[in-house]
Amino acid sequence: EPAKITVDGRVIHSNPITITVSKSATQNTSKQPSTEKSLGEQANEIIRNNLFIRLAVDKNQAYLGETIVATYKLYVHPNLNIVNISVPKMPSFNGFWTQDFGIKELKFTTENINGVPYRVADLKQVVLIPQQVGNLSIDPMEIEFVVRLLVQQQRKRSRDPFDMLFDDPFFNDPFFREFFGRIMPDSREYRPGLGSGFLISDDGYILTNEHVINGASEIKVTISGFDAPFKARVVGADYDLDLAVLKINAPRKLPYLKMGDVNRLRVGDWVIAIGNPYGLDHTVTVGVISAKGRPIDIEDRHYKNLLQTDASINPGNSGGPLLNLRGEVIGINTAVNAQAQGIGFAIPSDTVKGVLDELIKKGKVVRPWLGVQVQQVDQNWAEYLKLPRAEGALVVGVVPGSPAERAGITRGDVILEIAGRKIKTPDDLVAVIKEQKVGAAVGLLLWREGRLVRVRVVINEKPARL
């Protein structure tokens, strides 16, 4: 029975290259190794039309123990800009013994495909020694779904220090104005900004970062294949997650990207970042996943769970897709570490999938909110507060005007139960609150000054930017 190549623990299907393997030369003399097929017939395209990674093998038939040379070739459309390429180790191929040979330097040549002069370079060579019959295949994907965002932001123009003199009430006196005229109102200017996004439906919904469109007075979307940009409206946005959904009205159905499963993504996997850094349309950078679940702070935003990659993510890339080799979105390009080279971050796709419907239908992400800051109760706190056990969530702060304040919760209280669920750690409290509906009244069991106290609180919606 033939065995299919498994990549990252899963079987991949898409126009497979088939290598017919016999046990020995004497058992199958009628089938000799052949190299007659062209590169196009042997190849599997990863990104059609604009960027390809093609896998070519030097033969399609072999015997057990015979060497097959597989070459990964990068094909770049002349209109694309390649900023950075990082080539990781190849995945293991079930059914084959493999030896990975890296390419020290990318040397581009030119190859015409349907009249287009593509730039071509070898990315990687792998020696395969078959141990059983197998199919080597990689799914195709496209980048036609990536859009360019032009954002206009209105702001006050900075004023000359001398102009500040006229802010003095004296100069607004009617007598003064009679001679000098009315003081001109504050002038305004429009500052353009650039960002990226990508289509998530055929009827014109676009996903991007919230910080790309924050404060925008006008948003225009440029899509490949259309001469004029589209005006876009903001359907929904969330500051905390740094996500925004836009909508355009296009005259026809549009190609769009599908969300992938980030849980199947592993450190070391290939990824492709696409966007418009520094205004350079459809720029592609290639790299690997360096880490998962990274928490970082950028200006006044706190990101709790980001993908880290060495694929270059520069200004203008924000909001563009981070793709796996199946052409699925596994992240939204979000941030770059200005302190180091080759470190970029992306919001994982599972975060997006959890809130996308809510952003489209409600225009925001509704979060239940209690309004307390808490910390773990350790043994020292338990002894100080005379708690029987070192459990619960110790309240160290209460937000003014919050549900907790209205319910009478104060600093020093220890939350032991909420909605009938025991709370042993602050994480338990967060998990239970997330399950509550806004407007629901729930009971809390507190430890206060050496005794148990019960209170009732109405869960509210969390305010934005809190």
- Residue 10, class by beta-carbon neighbours within 10 Å (0-12 exposed, 13-18 middle, 19+ buried)? exposed
Among 194, 220, 247, which residue terminates a domain? 247
If asked whether residues 276 and 218 sit together in one domain, one would say: no
- CATH code for position 215: 2.40.10.10
Whether 253 is covered by a domain: the verdict is no
Q: Which tokens belong to 295?
A: 């928490």
If asked whether residues 119 and 164 sit together in one domain, one would say: no
If asked whether residues 125 and 151 sit together in one domain, one would say: no
Among 136, 154, 182, which residue terminates a domain? 136
Task: Please determine, for residue 455, whether its predicted confidence score (pLDDT) is greater than 50.
Answer: yes
If asked whether residues 79 and 164 sit together in one domain, one would say: no
* 120 against 21, higher pLDDT: 120
Has 211 been annotated as catalytic?
A: yes
Q: What is the pLDDT of residue 422?
A: 95
Task: Please determine, for residue 58, whether its predicted confidence score (pLDDT) is greater than 80.
Answer: no
Worst-scoring range by mean pLDDT, 160-169, 212-221, 242-251, 292-301?
160-169
pLDDT in tens, 263-287: 989 898 888 888 776 666 667 778 8
If asked whether residues 15 and 123 sit together in one domain, one would say: yes
Interior angle at CA 441, CA 440 and CA 445, nearest 5: 135
Q: What is the pLDDT of residue 17?
A: 45
Q: What is the mean pLDDT of the chain?
A: 74
% of the chain beyond a pLDDT of 70: 64
Whether 252 is covered by a domain: the verdict is no
Task: Please determine, for residue 448, whether its predicted confidence score (pLDDT) is greater than 80.
Answer: yes
Task: Please determine, for residue 196, whether its predicted confidence score (pLDDT) is greater than 70.
Answer: yes
Has 86 been annotated as catalytic?
A: no
Residue type, position 18, single letter:
T
Whether 41 is covered by a domain: the verdict is yes
Summarize the confidence of residues 19-42 as an average pLDDT: 42
Q: Which tokens belong to 341?
A: 């080279």
Among 218, 247, 276, which residue terminates a domain? 247
CA distance 447 to 395: 10
Whether 106 is covered by a domain: the verdict is yes
If asked whether residues 150 and 125 sit together in one domain, one would say: no
If asked whether residues 66 and 159 sit together in one domain, one would say: no
Strand partners, 69: 127
- CATH code for position 442: 2.30.42.10
If asked whether residues 329 and 222 sit together in one domain, one would say: no
Domain count, the chain: 4
pLDDT in tens, 130-150: 766 555 443 333 344 565 666
The residue annotated as part of the active site, out of 77, 238, 242, 413, is 242
Strands ordered across the beta sheet of 61-63? 3-4, 134-136, 17-22, 61-63
Whether 254 is covered by a domain: the verdict is no
If asked whether residues 372 and 358 sit together in one domain, one would say: no
The residue annotated as part of the active site, out of 22, 211, 290, 312, is 211
Has 318 been annotated as catalytic?
A: yes
Please give the model's pTM, rounded to 2 decimal places.
0.58
Q: Which tokens belong to 172?
A: 């607004």
Whether 255 is covered by a domain: the verdict is no
How far from 213 is each of 154, 236, 351, CA to CA, in Å? Answer: 12, 11, 19
Q: Which tokens belong to 164?
A: 């500040």
Whether 94 is covered by a domain: the verdict is yes
CA distance 293 to 348: 9
CA distance 119 to 78: 7
The residue annotated as part of the active site, out of 318, 349, 402, 428, is 318
If asked whether residues 306 and 386 sit together in one domain, one would say: no
If asked whether residues 35 and 127 sit together in one domain, one would say: yes
Query: Is residue 403 a contact partner of residue 368, using CB atoms and an 8 Å limit?
Result: no
Query: Is residue 92 a contact partner of residue 98, using CB atoms and an 8 Å limit?
Result: yes
Banded pLDDT at 170 (limits 50, 70, 90): very low
pLDDT in tens, 350-376: 999 989 999 999 999 888 999 999 999
If asked whether residues 380 and 268 sit together in one domain, one would say: no
3-state secondary structure of 437: coil
242 CB-near residues (< 8 Å, 6+ apart): 209, 210, 211, 301, 303, 334, 347
**SS3 helix, strand, coil % of the chain, rounded to 5?**
15, 45, 40
Range of the domain at 235: 146-247
CA distance 356 to 205: 11
Task: Please determine, for residue 261, whether its predicted confidence score (pLDDT) is greater than 50.
Answer: yes
169 CB-near residues (< 8 Å, 6+ apart): none
